[in-house]
Amino acid sequence: MIPVVVVLVYLAIIAYVGSVAFRRSKANTEDFFLASRSVGPLLFFLSLFATNMTAFAILGSSGMSYKRGIGVFGLMASSSAFIIPLTIFFIGTRLWALGKKFGHTTQVQFFRDRWECSGIGTAIFTLSAVMLIPYMIVSIIGGGTVLQDISRGADGNPMIPYALGCGIVALVVTINVFFGGMRGVVWVNAFQTVLFLLFGTVAVLFISQSMHGGYGALFTKMAGGPGGALLARDRIPQEEFWSYTFIPLSSIMFPHMAIMCFSAKKLTAFKNTVIAYPIAIMAVWLPCVFLGVAGAGLIPGLVNSDGILLKLLTQYTPIWLAGILGAGIISVVMGSDCHQILALSTMSTKDVFSHYGGAKKYGEKGSVMFARGFVLVATLIAYFIALKTPLSIFELAVRFAFSGFAAMAPIMVAALFWKRSTKWGALASTIWVAACVFGTWWLQSTSDSIAPKAPTGPPVVRSAGNRQLRSPQIIPPGAVNIPTGQSNVGQSPVGQPPVGKPPAGQPGAPQVSPVGGAQTPPTGQKRPPTGAPRRKAGPPPPVQIFPALGNMFLRNPTTVTIYGFLPVVPMVIGSAFWMILLSLLTAAPSRKTIEKYFPTGDKNNADPVT
């Protein structure tokens, strides 16, 4: 009860901030979407960081670490700590200058003007919107999950069911964005970022207090057994580890991140942001990954590992603290969700409504009304999709949004730094990205039934805590069978063979050896021959999706790979290739446009504006 009250009070504060921002706002789009380009350095950093942190940063990271170990930090956090500040430094600053000079509010406005083409903007808008919506849904799913789990009573039943939790989060986000616009979102983000930066450290310390021997004793026990795999990177192939450095390229291409760059008052706001960003990522991710691995030792056998952090909080911290920390998680969820919904509203208003005559017909006030109406409709749709979508937080976000946006980065780089780039190059890249996103989705769906099952954290330590576990929900070995083709593929208990035949028309299911659940490829499937990605004892070997194509398309427990690398690698390289090829084959933009973005006589003429 107490955690629920704390979280609900927090949500009420968020909604109130939105209403205060509403009273300060002006009735024009520049103010609603960009807070009149007046965001100061501290607010800019706090808000930009909150923009990029989703539920996946906390719930997904700990859940993934529970299954795959400490390598998740290097895989996602430190690669983001390297790439994202660089993209903000090189691309974000240029976007800010373009917005200041020419009044651009969205990336699409820039692309349309830069390549003298309305259609290319519409194509990029469509693809961006399609890829952003799943990312937005992730936040609502995360919010619903948190509220449900944190409100569980002693009997295990939630006071706030999942559907109601999603509804509450969606409602609060809507109120904040609808009334406050960018100003409301930025103010709330500052509060939220402080909360979730402190969240992890506080959680680690308090959970440690409830453990016999602390983390050292726990990890020492784990290191001596099969759970030791989680203390190293046995379950992360090196090809995947390297591939992941491409994923953070998506950050600056996410519309909400780019739009946030337009909102800074001065360019100097970017300085401290890029320096502090890696440290902030570490502050959020390190405790979550650490706790995810510790959770595998403390509460082994979870089917839905995304819930490990909440289980640790409810079982190893005082109730009042669990409430505050739950609010911290909710703040991560909502920080990004507010920005995503606002970004979709901005894009729809500026890139579609205004671009196709709405602004002229209905004026600024009408445009703001349209934007607010869009916020209502988009949130409602996202809410219903969240109720129907069974995919886990991590998979959903990565599969559809991150890879796609990362592969669009060459479009932005070409627009900013290559005079000779053309709309045809941009169009070819966009089509390539769209085809790859849907192709990857199809391959993933097709190969779900043959996916090898990943090992999970073994039950090394029964209970290292000194408190009674309330509703532990540990799945005992042999108690469940995970249906194939669902999101929790690879999360079956250790040693439990997957059960279930593939649907008709799908490739054959893997055969399972009777000992330890080790798998052999299904009939007609081959293991990769010598020369395929090197395997250690940790991750199960991938299977070939199309044996006739050899190792081109492999399927591991969680995703499709291409010669062992994540699809994002060929997607980014292909996108750059098509941009270069088609640009060289087609006529360059007019001299007037090139002069506009690359003024002659400028010693820094590689920069688009001076």
Partner 1 sequence: MKWLLTILILVVYVLHQDYWFWGNRSLVLGFMPVGLAYHAAYAVLVSVMMAILVKFAWPKHLEDTESEFPDSGEVGTHA
CB nearer partner 1, residue 236 or residue 386: 236
Check residue 276 and give left, alpha or beta (phi > 0: left; psi -120 to 50: alpha). Answer: alpha
What's the closest the beta carbon of residue 484 comes to partner 1, in angstroms?
30
Pairing of strands 553-555, 543-544: antiparallel
Pairing of strands 543-544, 519-520: unpaired
CB nearer partner 1, residue 201 or residue 486: 201
What's the closest the beta carbon of residue 299 comes to partner 1, in angstroms?
19
For the beta carbon of residue 182, count every other beta carbon within 10 angstroms: 30
What's the closest the beta carbon of residue 298 comes to partner 1, in angstroms?
14
CB nearer partner 1, residue 212 or residue 536: 536
What's the closest the beta carbon of residue 64 comes to partner 1, in angstroms?
14
Structure-derived torsion over alpha carbons of residues 110, 584, 123, 83, reported in degrees to the nearest 10: -60
Q: Rg of the chain's alpha carbons, rounded to an integer? A: 24
What's the closest the beta carbon of residue 276 comes to partner 1, in angstroms?
7
CB 165 within 8 A of CB 147: yes
Per the structure block, which two tokens stand in for 520?
């052999």
CB nearer partner 1, residue 79 or residue 491: 79
What's the closest the beta carbon of residue 132 comes to partner 1, in angstroms?
24
CB nearer partner 1, residue 2 or residue 223: 223
Check residue 531 and give left, alpha or beta (phi > 0: left; psi -120 to 50: alpha). Answer: left
What's the closest the beta carbon of residue 423 comes to partner 1, in angstroms?
22
CB nearer partner 1, residue 82 or residue 438: 82
What's the closest the beta carbon of residue 49 comes to partner 1, in angstroms?
13
**Cα distance between residue 294 and residue 226, in whole Å:** 14
Question: Any idea what DSSP says for residue 543?
Answer: E
What's the closest the beta carbon of residue 282 comes to partner 1, in angstroms?
4
Query: 552 by DSSP, 3-state: which?
Result: coil
CB nearer partner 1, residue 31 or residue 351: 31
From residue 483, give the alpha-carbon distance in Å to each of 97, 440, 492, 545: 52, 21, 9, 19
What's the closest the beta carbon of residue 440 comes to partner 1, in angstroms?
24
CB nearer partner 1, residue 234 or residue 337: 234
**Cα distance between residue 327 and residue 164, in whole Å:** 16
Check residue 473 and give left, alpha or beta (phi > 0: left; psi -120 to 50: alpha). Answer: left
What's the closest the beta carbon of residue 29 comes to partner 1, in angstroms?
6
For the beta carbon of residue 518, count every other beta carbon within 10 angstroms: 15
CB nearer partner 1, residue 131 or residue 368: 368
CB nearer partner 1, residue 153 or residue 213: 213
CB nearer partner 1, residue 3 or residue 227: 227
Q: Which residues bind partner 1 (CB under 8 A)?
A: 22-31, 70-71, 73-74, 77-79, 81-82, 85-86, 89, 93-94, 96-97, 100-103, 214-216, 219-220, 223, 228, 231-234, 238, 241-242, 245, 266-268, 271, 274-279, 281-282, 286, 289-290, 293, 363-365, 536, 602, 604, 607, 609-610
CB 424 within 8 A of CB 528: no
Count CA atoms closer than 13 A to 597's CA, side-chain side: 27
Question: Any idea what DSSP says for residue 485?
Answer: T
CB 257 within 8 A of CB 53: no
**Cα distance between residue 580 and residue 578, in whole Å:** 5
Angle at 61 between CA 55 and CA 65, to 5 degrees: 155
Per the structure block, which two tokens stand in for 291?
């706790």
Q: Which residue bears the tokens 């969700």? A: 337
